[in-house]
Amino acid sequence: MENRYATLKKALAIIAFLALWELFPRIGVLNPLFVPPLSSVVTTLRDLYSNGELVKHTLVSLQRAIYGLLAGILVGLPLGLLLGGWFPRIQQATEPLMELFAQANPVILAHIIIFFLGIGPSARIFIIGWLCIWPITFSAITGIRTVDKTLLKQARSFGLGRWRLFLRVILPAAAPSVFTGLRLAAGYAFIMLIAAEMMGASNGLGWFVVQSQESYHITRIFAGATVITLLAVVTDALLRLVEKRVVVWNAEGSEDYLKLKGATS
């Protein structure tokens, strides 16, 4: 019942926002030259879809965002697992360096990135991937460091070896935090699209928004931003769905985890 009520409130909030978006520019609360009504944006989206322009740019940007997110996962997840304290020697050797790298803004370092990678797809994917690495890394670190210490002591008393303890207890317990980092990284991937696609790109939603801004096509700017937002929302929803299935399976379905959790409760 509570979940339905929360869902209803969210739906009503979205409907109210869309209604105000349509109403305010029409009654003069917002200047339609700067904030066009929702219906105008929807009409622009329909036209862009009809001529194939929207689909072309969306597919390109979606590919870049996914590649960047996957790069962030492939680098950030192992880093987080290593720096979570489970491997103290590796942690002590690399943690200060990782904290330094995390403060490096890829947009500020754009000229250095272009120098090494050029202005092709690799540079754009690198920028997106760099921003995705850190929420995944730090969420994995937090997940491992906040595992119930009583659970770990109980696991050792059952005679679980180091690797089995890590794979069957630590990872399932840290999975919710890891997925939080994945969802944050997915959002960052789409946020960085505009900045990444400013680097010599000739297609993509970010490029489309920038080009529309330069030619002062306001409805096209809002159309591109709306599609980017929708992609981020859909990606987050998909990750939530995967989290509900995978986390429950790993944590609650792990035989070792269930025994230990029952023994400590």
Same structural domain for residues 10 and 76? no
Same structural domain for residues 7 and 102? no
Same structural domain for residues 160 and 245? yes
**Measured CA angle at 119 (ends 116, 124), to 5 deg:** 90
Sign of the CA dihedral running 183, 247, 84, 264: positive
The answer to whether the beta carbons of residues 81 and 145 sit under 8 Å apart is no
Same structural domain for residues 86 and 7? no
* CA-CA-CA-CA dihedral for 204, 207, 213, 218, to nearest 10: 0
Q: Residue 102: which domain range?
A: 36-264
Q: What is the CATH number of the domain that holds 66?
A: 1.10.3720.10
Residues ≥6 apart with Cβ < 8 Å to 17? none
Same structural domain for residues 4 and 135? no
Burial environment of residue 114 by CB neighbours within 10 A (0 to 12, 13 to 18, 19 or more): middle
**HSE-up (13 A, CA, CB side) for residue 194:** 14
The answer to whether the beta carbons of residues 73 and 185 sit under 8 Å apart is yes
User: What pLDDT shows up at residue 218?
Assistant: 92
Burial environment of residue 149 by CB neighbours within 10 A (0 to 12, 13 to 18, 19 or more): exposed
The answer to whether the beta carbons of residues 200 and 186 sit under 8 Å apart is no
d(CA 101, CA 94): 11
Cβ neighbours, 10 Å, residue 217: 16
Same structural domain for residues 100 and 128? yes
Same structural domain for residues 17 and 115? no
d(CA 263, CA 181): 30
Same structural domain for residues 7 and 119? no
Domain count, the chain: 2
* pLDDT in 10s for each residue of the chain, 265 residues: 667 777 788 889 999 999 999 999 999 888 888 999 999 999 999 999 999 889 999 999 999 899 999 999 999 888 888 777 666 677 777 777 777 777 777 767 777 777 777 777 788 888 889 889 989 988 988 888 888 777 777 777 777 676 777 777 788 888 888 899 999 999 888 888 877 887 777 888 888 988 898 888 999 999 999 999 999 889 988 988 888 887 754 444 444 444 444 444 4
Same structural domain for residues 150 and 228? yes
Same structural domain for residues 45 and 136? yes
DSSP for residue 35: S
Same structural domain for residues 104 and 235? yes
User: What pLDDT shows up at residue 85?
Assistant: 65
Same structural domain for residues 13 and 119? no
| pTM, full prediction | 0.79
Of 243, 223, 119, 117, residue with least CA distance to 177 = 243
User: What pLDDT shows up at residue 93?
Assistant: 74
DSSP, collapsed to helix, strand or coil, labels residue 148 as: coil
